[in-house]
Chains A and B, each alone.
Chain A
Amino acid sequence: MAKGNNRKKLRRTWTEIKRNKACYAMLAPFMIFFIVFTVIPVVMSLPMGFTDFNMAQPPKFVGFSNYTTLFFSDKIFIRSIRVTIVFALLTGPVSYVLCFLLAWLINELPPKLKTIFTLIFYIPSMANVYTVWQLIFSGDINGYLNSFLINLGIITGPIQWLTDGRYVLAVTIIVQMWISLGAGFLALRAGFQNIDRSQYEAAAIEGIQNRWQELIYITIPSMGPQLMFAAVMQIVGSFTAGTVAQNLVGFPSTDYKAHTIMTHAYDYGWVRFEMGYASAICMILFVVMFICSRLISRVLSKYMD
């Protein structure tokens, strides 16, 4: 009986598939490349967290030992969790709000200025500028920040911004925020342009009186999809941040003060070649990011289709 039901279900699915073959045809070009170069590598990497893998010998299954080591004996990992949480909580929400706020404010300007301001705020994500930040925060009196502060008389001697344990995290956060107006910001800019103008005209008749009311009653509710996109980008950006610290304050940073989970994974993967352990670290990070994105999608769900 159950078997018959299954077969019926299968047949119904099959007719559904045949009915929708145009969909599959349009999906195919993307999916072929996506499966080969993304899905297969991801699936192959999933079980690596349960192995001991040094890239020279084939991976050896070790069960949960990578995870128990991480949580019970890797003190630097525990420290990196703390750094990552501070980092993500500070840069994530702040730059998310900033992305939205700036995209909105720019939208209120005349067209020519829109292009210019969008460029100014987005250009940090396009340029490779670690060298210039190194010169700004340089520890000798030639550093821009040091010489500026000395000239103003705020400090008397140069500060080692990039190596002093008290400052490295703050410096990293500033630079991270500076480059974080990226994909999410541009997507939100595009979203604002996509809103139907007639909605605003209708709203004006119905008694919307100023920019704020317009923002809250019309703009935000019609930007759900873009808000979700920006949120996912922001989660990935703030949790996997590591390159900024590595390029700026050195690797490892003083006292591991700017040592994020991703830096830890980099350390084990590409310095010590313990790929199994590194991939266990990444797995934990993935679980955290996945939960975060689910929570945000629940909050935004009333604005989505």
Chain B
Amino acid sequence: MAQIDTAKLKASNKQAGRKIGGTVGIFLFLTVLGLFMAMPIYLTIVMSVKPVEELFVFPPKLYAVRPTLDNFRDMFAALRQNRVPFSRYVFNSVAVTVSVTVMQCVFSSMAAFVLAKCRFPGSKVINNIIVISLLYQSNVIYIMQYIVMAKLGLIDNPLALILPSIASPMGLFLMRQSISQVPDAVIDAAKVDGAGLFRICWQVVMPNQKPALMTLIIFAFQGAWNIQTGSVVFQEQYKTLPTVVTQAAASGLARAGVAMAAAVFMLIPPVIVFMLAQKNVIETMAHSGIKE
């Protein structure tokens, strides 16, 4: 085990002037800071398995004396009281999350490629509008969005959960910034070979954009997974997991444990997606060979 680790350390130190001591120092520094960063998350997990009577013990303990899954059981019990079976909410959330993530990634990648690498009438204006729309935050927008959705007949329609999240200016901006680093020579060469823009985008540019694309998947998944039905969809059979889990968890401090259980439960899928995507990001490093 130890041998493998040192081999890997050496492999990552092929660059100039790497000393093993420096890497160990960085590791220690990050560990200390990481412990501080992870503390509230750790406490969330601990609280979610603490029985009720342990919540108000003095001094509060950093671990559960008698860990229990009661809080999770209570949460699911509260969910079971709903008219609609639990699996329906899971299905709704998965359907919304998958369709938003896929469409957001495909549409943003294409648009980002065009905006980063082509000059055409309107390209500058659109680039500016994207950044401005990121900066313009106003609570009036939600009202206007509601009016637009009402005009389109989307209120109380499950599509209202999907359509507004597809075009995320943040996702586009991220991809645009990353694609702008691709040398023009690469694209010109492909053009000379007779490839159309669509093929250049998907076969020349995107295969080398894995780090940005994986990051976009993380953002899109995380955003879509947390979409609340809130004020646009009212029918019980269209509600998503975050809406009903919040409902189940929201009642007083005595149920802090249940709230923690809900938080932990909702965190599991994004963390899994995050791990898979990050693994992919890190693997791309070895062979990213775009040259001028």
A residues near B, CB below 8 A?
13, 16-17, 20, 22-24, 26-27, 29-34, 36-42, 44-45, 48, 55, 102, 105-106, 108-115, 117-124, 126-129, 131-133, 135-136, 141-144, 147, 150-151, 178, 181, 183, 186-187, 189-191, 193-198, 200-201, 203-204, 208-211, 213-214, 222, 225-226, 228-229, 232-233, 235-236, 240, 262, 265-266, 269-270, 275, 278-279, 282-283, 285-286, 289-290, 293, 304-305
Contacts and interface: CB of A to CB of B under 8 A. Distances in A.
Interface stretch (B41-49, B75-83, B88-96, B233-241): B41-49
Contacts of A144: 43, 60
A123 B41 CA distance: 8
Contacts of A121: 34, 37
A286 B275 CA distance: 35
B140 A282 contact: yes
B8 interface: yes
Interface string B108-129: 1011011100101101001001
Given A132-B40, A196-B289, A236-B137, A112 B271 contact: no
B37 A178 contact: yes
A208 B148 CA distance: 57
Nearest to B36: A178
Interface in B21-35: 22-23, 26-27, 29-30, 33-34
A135 B256 contact: yes
B201 A222 contact: no
B176 to A, nearest CB: 8
The 8 A-B pairs at the shortest CB distance, nearest first, are namely: A225-B177, A282-B138, A41-B144, A33-B167, A190-B211, A30-B111, A20-B120, A34-B167
Interface centre among B47, B129, B139, by most chain A C-beta atoms within 10 angstroms, is: B139
Contacts of B16: 200, 203-204, 208-211, 213-214
A194 B126 contact: no
B10 to A, nearest CB: 9
9 contacts: A41-B147, A110-B5, A128-B266, A132-B40, A135-B256, A193-B284, A197-B288, A201-B15, A236-B134
Contact of B121 (A20, A39, A119, A266): A20
Contacts, number: 315
Interface residues of B, number: 109
A120 B126 contact: no
Nearest to A37: B164
A225 B127 CA distance: 13
A86 B185 CA distance: 46
Given A109-B23, A123-B41, A193 B110 contact: no
A196 B290 contact: yes
Contacts of A32: 167
A198 B288 CA distance: 9
B60 A142 contact: yes
A180 to B, nearest CB: 11
A29 B141 contact: no
Contacts of B267: 123, 126-127
